[in-house]
């Protein structure tokens, strides 16, 4: 696992002067902004994934109608929305932990979220398939 | 030339452009998801407009915040703590509104 470079210039230390940033990001040197931008884009990709799950959950409840049973429809919708919300919170946590690791020159932490997402989507798809099969 | 400016010398600017596009796509996604709520307008009335208006207003607020941060990125400050936490809060609020609207008929 690679460690992104940090600047040795003292003016980069602590990054932005705001108390909020110091509190969220902790101590360390401001990393190369290009790495921060890459971290930001990764966070945005995860957030879009979580928004897709939210949108899917809302769309199932709003548009599925009587395509399958009420319990299955609501269960699936609630499951997808909850999974989307958890993913949004975890992606924010991951952005903070990556930013902190870069600022302190530590190796970047592993990402277990992908596995949880794959498991969640697989369970939702299986649930949907069973619901359609039972109804059909 | 200072260290900050030297960083961007020879940089194509594509990383910043990709980041801007990424924000644009994400905010469009927020607005699309909140627009889905309009499907419930006949059922729940004007209450449904709250998350829709909130999504659009917060999206525009984040665009403004991003615009202000562009200059900071140029001088070497890459973190986006306000934007990241604001967007996460927005997505959680939209999700909560979705949960409420799904659960209410039960």
Residues of chain B contacting residue A24, judged by C-beta atoms under 8 Å apart: 81, 85
Cα angle B83, B64, A32; round to 5: 50
Rounded to an integer, what distance in angstroms lies between the CA atom of residue B89 and that of residue B77? 23
Q: With pLDDT > 90 as the criterion, what percentage of chain A qualifies?
A: 42
Dihedral angle over CA of A113, A119, A120, A126, nearest 10: 170
Question: Do B95 and A30 lie within an 8 Å CB cutoff?
Answer: no
**Backbone dihedral region for residue B51 (phi beyond 0: left; psi -120 to 50: alpha; all else: beta):** alpha
Give the tokens for residue B33.
């998801």
Residue A1 belongs to a domain: no
pLDDT higher at B93 or A20 = B93
State the residue range of the domain holding A14.
Answer: 10-135
The domain tally of chain A equals: 1
Residue A4 belongs to a domain: no
Residue A2 belongs to a domain: no
Residues of chain A contacting residue B65, judged by C-beta atoms under 8 Å apart: none
Question: Which residue from A58, A88, A96 is facing B36, i.e. has the nearest CB?
Answer: A58
**pLDDT over 70 (residue B7):** no
**pLDDT over 50 (residue A7):** no
Residue of A nearest to B42 (CA): A62
pLDDT band, very low/low/confident/very high, at A39 (cuts 50, 70, 90): very high
Question: Do A78 and B99 lie within an 8 Å CB cutoff?
Answer: yes
Cα angle A54, B53, A39; round to 5: 50
Q: Is A127 on the interface with B (CB under 8 A)?
A: no
Mean pLDDT of A21-36: 82
Rounded to an integer, what distance in angstroms lies between the CA atom of residue A119 and that of residue B61? 34
Question: Do A30 and B96 lie within an 8 Å CB cutoff?
Answer: no
User: Is B89 buried (19+), middle (13-18) or exposed (0-12) by CB count in 10 A?
Assistant: middle
Cα angle A6, A10, A16; round to 5: 80
Strand runs (DSSP E) across B1-106, as ranges?
Answer: none
Each residue's pLDDT tens digit, A87-136: 999 999 999 999 999 989 898 888 888 888 899 899 989 988 888 888 76
Based on its alpha-carbon atoms, the radius of gyration of chain A, rounded to whole angstroms, reads: 20
Question: Which residue in A8, A58, A92, A104 has the most chain B C-beta atoms within 10 A of its own C-beta, making it the best mutation to test that interface?
Answer: A58
User: What local confidence, expressed as pLDDT, does residue A10 receive?
Assistant: 44
User: Is A29 buried (19+), middle (13-18) or exposed (0-12) by CB count in 10 A?
Assistant: middle
Each residue's pLDDT tens digit, B58-75: 888 888 877 777 766 666
Mean predicted lDDT score pLDDT of chain A: 83
ipTM of the shown complex: 0.85
**pLDDT over 50 (residue A12):** no
Q: Where are the domains of chain B?
A: 11-103
Among residues A84, A99, A64, the alpha carbon closest in space to that of B81 is found at A99
pLDDT band, very low/low/confident/very high, at A13 (cuts 50, 70, 90): very low
Mean pLDDT of B94-105: 88
pLDDT band, very low/low/confident/very high, at B8 (cuts 50, 70, 90): low
pTM exceeds cut of 0.95: no
Residue A47 belongs to a domain: yes
Q: Which residues of A92-115 are buried (b: 16+ CB within 10 A; e: fewer)?
A: bebbbebbbbbbeeeeeeeeebee
Choose from A12-16, A35-39, B43-47, B91-95 the range with maximum mean pLDDT.
B91-95
pLDDT band, very low/low/confident/very high, at A19 (cuts 50, 70, 90): confident
- Taking a C-beta distance cutoff of 8 angstroms, is the pair A133, A30 a contact? no
Mean pLDDT of B73-93: 81
Q: Which stretches of chain B sit within 8 Å of chain A by CB?
A: 3-4, 7, 11, 15-16, 18-19, 22-23, 25-26, 29-30, 32-33, 36-37, 39-40, 72-73, 76-82, 84-85, 87-88, 91-92, 94-96, 98-99, 101-103, 106
User: What local confidence, expressed as pLDDT, does residue B20 receive?
Assistant: 85
**pLDDT over 80 (residue B92):** yes
């Amino acid at each position: 696992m690679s460690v992104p470079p940090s600047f040795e210039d003292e003016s980069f230390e602590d990054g932005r002067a705001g108390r909020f940033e110091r509190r969220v990001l902790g101590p360390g040197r401001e990393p190369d902004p290009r790495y921060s931008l890459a971290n930001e884009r990764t966070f945005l990709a995860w957030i879009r994934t979580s928004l897709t799950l939210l949108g899917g959950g809302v769309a199932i409840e709003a548009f599925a109608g009587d395509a399958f049973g009420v319990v299955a429809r609501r269960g699936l919708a609630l499951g997808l929305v909850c999974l989307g919300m958890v993913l949004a919170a975890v992606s924010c946590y991951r952005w903070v932990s990556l930013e902190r690791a870069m600022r302190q020159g530590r190796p970047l932490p592993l990402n277990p979220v992908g596995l949880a997402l794959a498991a969640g989507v697989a369970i939702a798809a299986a649930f949907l398939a069973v619901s359609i099969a039972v109804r059909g | 030339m200072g260290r900050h400016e030297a960083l961007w010398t020879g940089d194509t600017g594509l990383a910043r452009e990709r980041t801007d596009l990424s924000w644009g796509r994400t905010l469009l996604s927020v607005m699309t998801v909140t627009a889905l709520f309009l499907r419930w307008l006949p059922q729940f009335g004007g209450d449904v407009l709250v998350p829709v208006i909130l999504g659009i207003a917060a999206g525009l607020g984040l665009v403004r915040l991003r615009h202000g941060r562009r200059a900071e990125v140029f001088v070497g400050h890459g973190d986006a703590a306000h934007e990241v936490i604001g967007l996460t809060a927005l997505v959680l609020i939209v999700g909560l509104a979705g949960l409420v609207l799904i659960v209410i008929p039960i």
